[in-house]
């Protein structure tokens, strides 16, 4: 059977199964479990109304349990076994992991990413959103700044490999150094700072996302508020920092946490630029080092990443609900 036909059949069976489930479950609920013709008709209708939402939620809950909860529990259990999976070793994988220098470097670098990337991307996105609204060609500028969002992480990394190239005829940094008579350097091998050179790629890509969301938030500020501030004598800086920013603070937090959530899962950029060498390792790349040779250690790292990501995700969901 051809892949196209398989895909069509999968869609038909999936959609048909969902429609059939909803139809039959509601039919059974209304006709047999809580029949409206019984002596307690009003109470049965109320009971059916209370149960009906759970019928719609059940397929999603089963899917989440199968594809989310079960893998999390299974991964944690697997992390308690040795590399071959046949000997229970308890928390030894976690103890050995936290005792390794490589893990501590990866954890420290992850915190660097969390501190720098969301702050820089949100700041530049807010700055661009404010400035481009004042330009006649602001829409063109926004399109150019948003364009990196359409590039994959690997594609963006390959572009910046040319920016950081050792050859002065290719790399921008070494071209500037060569102009002033300095020797070429490899930015990817400069201790500590090489992490920030890699982070710039992520900032470059996420600034467009922050700009779009924050630009919409700025446009949503009532004109009366801005006009009243101008009449009261507020200068442009006071207008921006004391009037506009406080009114979009919730949106800024949502953008910040969304980029933080994405940053915690980043892998492609580091793997493409350095492969985790030169002390640029982060937790996902550290996990990849053990992926095909020690499943117990790899799943332990994955569980640690999940524990770090979960609070940010919960906070982001709560902030998004407040915005609604």
Q: Give the helix/strand (H/E) hosting 259.
A: helix 249-264
pLDDT, tens digit only, all 324 positions of the chain: 677 888 888 888 888 888 888 888 888 887 878 776 656 667 777 888 888 888 888 888 888 888 888 888 888 888 888 888 788 888 888 998 888 888 899 999 999 999 999 999 999 999 988 888 777 777 888 888 888 888 888 899 998 988 888 888 888 888 888 888 888 888 888 888 999 999 999 999 999 999 989 988 888 888 888 888 888 888 888 888 888 888 888 888 889 888 988 888 888 899 889 888 888 998 888 888 888 888 888 899 888 888 888 887 787 777 767 765
Non-local (6+) Cβ contacts of 281 within 8 A are 102, 105, 106, 109, 270
| CATH 1.10.3720.10, the chain: domain bounds | 95-321
Residues 6+ apart with CB under 8 A from 225: 243, 247
Tokens 């442009």 found at:
236
In degrees to the nearest 10, what's the CA dihedral of 226, 227, 231, 236? 40
Contact assessment for residue 36 and residue 26, using Cβ atoms and an 8 Å cutoff: no
Q: Could you tell me if 256 and 119 are in contact, meaning their C-beta atoms sit under 8 angstroms apart?
A: yes
For residue 244 the two structure tokens come to 């506009």
Q: Would you state the CATH architecture of domain 95-321?
A: Orthogonal Bundle (1.10)
- State pTM to two decimals: 0.79
Q: Count the neighbouring beta carbons within 10 Å of the beta carbon of residue 120.
A: 20
- For CA atoms 307, 313, 316, 322, the dihedral sign is negative
**Tokens 């700025």 found at:** 218
Kindly provide the b/e burial profile for residues 251-269, where b requires at least 16 CB atoms within 10 angstroms of the residue's own CB. Answer: bbbbbbbbbbbbbbebebb
In eight-state DSSP terms, residue 184 is P
Distance CA 92, CA 85 (A): 13
């Amino acid at each position: 059977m051809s892949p196209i036909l398989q895909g069509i059949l999968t869609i038909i069976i999936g959609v048909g199964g969902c429609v059939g489930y909803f139809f039959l479950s509601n039919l059974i609920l209304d006709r047999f479990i809580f029949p409206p013709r019984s002596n307690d008709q009003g109470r049965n209708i109320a009971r059916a109304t209370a149960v009906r939402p759970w019928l719609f939620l059940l397929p999603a809950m089963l899917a989440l349990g199968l594809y989310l909860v079960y893998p999390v529990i299974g991964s944690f259990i697997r992390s308690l076994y040795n590399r071959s999976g046949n000997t229970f070793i308890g928390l030894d994988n976690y103890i050995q992991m936290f005792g390794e220098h490589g893990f501590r470097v990866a954890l420290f670098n992850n915190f660097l990413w969390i501190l720098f990337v969301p702050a820089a991307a949100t700041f530049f996105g807010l700055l661009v959103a404010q400035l481009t609204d004042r330009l006649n060609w602001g829409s063109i500028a926004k399109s150019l700044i948003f364009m990196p969002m359409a590039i994959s992480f690997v594609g963006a990394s390959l572009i910046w490999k040319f920016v950081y190239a050792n050859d002065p005829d290719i790399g921008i940094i070494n071209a500037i150094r060569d102009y002033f008579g300095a020797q070429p350097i490899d930015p990817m091998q400069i201790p500590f700072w090489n992490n920030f050179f890699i982070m710039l790629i992520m900032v470059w890509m996420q600034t467009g996302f922050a700009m779009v969301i924050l630009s919409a938030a700025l446009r949503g500020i009532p004109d009366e508020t801005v006009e009243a501030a101008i009449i009261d004598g507020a200068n442009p800086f006071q207008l921006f920092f004391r009037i506009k920013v406080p009114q979009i603070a919730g949106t800024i937090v949502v953008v910040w946490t969304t980029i933080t959530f994405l940053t915690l899962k980043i892998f492609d950029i580091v793997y493409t630029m350095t492969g985790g060498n030169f002390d640029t390792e982060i937790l996902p790349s550290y996990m990849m080092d053990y992926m095909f040779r020690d499943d117990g250690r790899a799943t332990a790292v994955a569980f640690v990443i999940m524990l770090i990501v979960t609070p940010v995700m919960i906070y982001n969901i709560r902030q998004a609900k407040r915005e609604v």
